[in-house]
Amino acid sequence: MSNRFVENLVEREYDAGFVTDIESETLPPGLDESVVRFISAKKNEPEWLTDWRLEAYRGWQAMTAPKWAHVHFPPIDFTAISYFSAPKSLADGPSSLDEVDPELLRTYEKLGIPLHEQEFLAGVVKGADSPATSSEPSSRPNVAVDAIFDSVSIGTTFKDKLAEAGVVFCPISEAVQTHPELVRKYLGSVVPRKDNFYAALNSAVYSDGSFVYIPPGVRCPMELSTYFRINAQNTGQFERTLIIAEAGSYVSYLEGCTAPMRDENQLHAAVVELIALDDAEIKYSTVQNWYPGDKNGKGGIYNFVTKRGACIGVRSKISWTQVETGSAITWKYPSVILRGDYSVGEFYSVALTNNYQQADTGTKMIHLGKHTRSTIIAKGISAGKSNSTYRGLVRTSPTAIGARNYTQCDSLLIGSNCGAHTFPYIESKNASAIIEHEATTSKLSDEQLFLCQQRGIDPEKAVGMIVNGFCKEVFRQLPMEFAVEAGKLLEVSLEGAVG
């Protein structure tokens, strides 16, 4: 049967694609030691950090960009990128949101990001348990937000309330001043500054990002969220996130990202480091909606990100959940190093590609401690002429007695011009380890659509429902308020995927 319905792919709408007209201070394109020193000086950094950056920069110079990913793009000219851009109005650092340029606040308003503490995330109106049947607004918990605009943080909400619990949630540039011992101890401890090409670049030039510290025994009283926005033209965004969960603590953290529609590609090379001590748990969720480029593959963000968590303590747990709908190219592998005995790593992922998008994403689970466990559930959805790749590594070292892994990779194809690929790597050096891998590939068929339509459901809604059903196991892992939003985002991303 011809897939006449699903082959007719047209442009998706990207509703976060506007540009904020704001005066910025932007460095001229190019990278050398003086740029690194400039950024460090701009942030008023101590000497050790300046040296740390310079060391990373020198390491980066000797490295070459990796080519092993299943993605294709022309070489990036790193001399054509500007490595620092900040809205001018923030030059002296506003002491409260009231002093922030209203144009900036409007940007976040338009994106539905709550920068006033009485507000909540917009667009979230239903409980996630039964989106089809419930129309009652559920009680929405507050979410503390750190908003990063181009290279700087423009404000963090709920700081006082978090401080009461002893939680530190602030821009990392501020943490360098207020908690230098923590930053110095943990920065680069999970992702060494010369870990890989893009991590080294980030270490040299990162401008801001979020810092989270949860003291021992504290359950963070609200969701923490960082919202990244790239605005300026020809700039790269290099943010750095560091989350430390002390013994017996818990935190759930969510990041969101958008960028204007521009014709040229923009580089986003972030580093995220998570550290979980004894019995601590970190839940890190991402809803990534960077501009994916237009329907002909022009423009869009290159999302080359290093995310890694270390379960240092016994019985600690790190869980990554990601919903990836944006970016021209996505290249990231949120990983967990399971060092503590009985520690747990989880990776739940939905990666959706449409038009000419490419995604090479997956995870690494490195089992070092005894009886460590990991679960990987990866769902790839390809539409248009896009390619979606799962790449994952499960390694059990000789010390990882009784380690367990379960991996499930499912791919869903929409139309017949897209591709799905799975590259699972398994390195077991321990005979007592149990590693399971399951993979399926299926196609959203005309017959499924026809069944839905025959029952009265229009094709757009039907595709949304079928794709949401496919992703259900992952959405279940998202914080409740965001699960519905993620479902909607998928539907928007697939808009026009059927004619």
Partner 1 sequence: MRLLEVDDLHVTVAGQQILTGLSLSIDAGEVHAIMGPNGSGKSTLANVLAGHPGYEITSGSIRYKDIQLEDLKVEERAHLGLFLAFQYPVEIPGVSNMEFMKAALDAQAKARNEEPMSAIEFMKAARSAAQQLDLNPDFLKRGVNEGFSGGEKKRNEILQLLLLQPTLAVLDETDSGLDIDAIQTVSAGINRFRNADNGVLLITHYQRLLDYIVPDVVHVLANGRIIRSGDKSLAVTLEEKGYTWLSAS
Residue 350 contacts partner 1 per CB under 8 A:
no
Residue 129 contacts partner 1 per CB under 8 A:
no
In the complex with partner 1, the residue whose CB is nearer, 26 or 493, is 493
Residue 62 contacts partner 1 per CB under 8 A:
no
Task: Please identify, among the stretches 97-105, 218-226, 325-333, 464-472, the one whose residues bind partner 1 according to the rule CB under 8 A.
Answer: 464-472
Task: Please identify, among the stretches 65-73, 316-324, 369-377, 441-449, the one whose residues bind partner 1 according to the rule CB under 8 A.
Answer: 441-449
In the complex with partner 1, the residue whose CB is nearer, 436 or 473, is 473
Residue 465 contacts partner 1 per CB under 8 A:
yes
Joined tokens for residue 496: 């026009």
Binders of partner 1 in range 134-163 (CB under 8 A): 134
Residue 234 contacts partner 1 per CB under 8 A:
no
Selected from 95, 133, 181, 431, the binder of partner 1 by CB under 8 A is 133
Selected from 5, 228, 304, 348, the binder of partner 1 by CB under 8 A is 5
Residue 454 contacts partner 1 per CB under 8 A:
yes
Residue 416 contacts partner 1 per CB under 8 A:
no
How far apart CA 342 and CA 337 sit, in angstroms, is 12
Selected from 445, 480, 491, 492, the binder of partner 1 by CB under 8 A is 445
For residue 165, the tally of other CB atoms under 10 A from its CB is 14
Joined tokens for residue 247: 């013994």
Residue 7 contacts partner 1 per CB under 8 A:
no
Residue 452 contacts partner 1 per CB under 8 A:
yes
Shortest distance (Å) from residue 134 CB to partner 1: 7
Residue 458 contacts partner 1 per CB under 8 A:
yes
In the complex with partner 1, the residue whose CB is nearer, 72 or 455, is 455
Reduced 3-state DSSP string for the chain: CCCHHHHCCCCCCCCCCCCCCCCEEECCCCCCHHHHHHHHHHCCCCHHHHHHHHHHHHHHHCCCCCCCCCCCCCCCCCCCCECCEEEHHHCCCCCCHHHCCHHHHHHHHHCCCCCCCCCCCCCCCCCCCCCCCCCCCCCCCCEEEEEEECCEEEEECCHHHHHHCCCEEEEHHHHHHHCHHHHHHHCCCCCCCCCCHHHHHHHHHCCECEEEEECCCCECCCEEEEEEECCCCCECECEEEEEEECCCCEEEEEEEEECCCCCCEEEECCEEEEEECCCCEEEEEEEECCCCCCCCCCCEEEEEEEEEEEECCCCCEEEEEEEECCCCEEEECCEEEECCCCCEEEEEEEEEECCCCEEEEEEEEEECCCCCEEEEEEEEEECCCCEEEEEEEEEECCCCCCCEEEEEEEEEEECCCCEEEEEEEEEECCCCCEEEEEEEEEEECHHHHHHHHHCCCCHHHHHHHHHHHHCHHHHCCCCHHHHHHHHHHHHHHCCCCCC
Q: In degrees, to the nearest 5, what angle opens at C-alpha 179 toward C-alphas 176 and 180? A: 55
Residue 51 contacts partner 1 per CB under 8 A:
no
Selected from 258, 396, 448, 493, the binder of partner 1 by CB under 8 A is 448
Interface size with partner 1, residues (CB under 8 A) = 32
Residue 349 contacts partner 1 per CB under 8 A:
no
Shortest distance (Å) from residue 320 CB to partner 1: 21
Residue 451 contacts partner 1 per CB under 8 A:
yes
Most distant CA pair in the chain: distance in Å?
68
For residue 454, the tally of other CB atoms under 10 A from its CB is 8
Shortest distance (Å) from residue 490 CB to partner 1: 13
Shortest distance (Å) from residue 365 CB to partner 1: 24
Shortest distance (Å) from residue 130 CB to partner 1: 8
How far apart CA 359 and CA 349 sit, in angstroms, is 12
Shortest distance (Å) from residue 459 CB to partner 1: 8
In the complex with partner 1, the residue whose CB is nearer, 99 or 458, is 458
Residue 468 contacts partner 1 per CB under 8 A:
yes
Shortest distance (Å) from residue 474 CB to partner 1: 10
Shortest distance (Å) from residue 383 CB to partner 1: 17
Residue 106 contacts partner 1 per CB under 8 A:
no
Selected from 98, 132, 160, 431, the binder of partner 1 by CB under 8 A is 132
In the complex with partner 1, the residue whose CB is nearer, 41 or 451, is 451
Task: Please identify, among the stretches 15-23, 128-136, 172-180, 250-258, the one whose residues bind partner 1 according to the rule CB under 8 A.
Answer: 128-136
Binding site for partner 1 (CB under 8 A): 1-2, 4-5, 130, 132-134, 442, 445-448, 450-459, 461, 465-466, 468-473
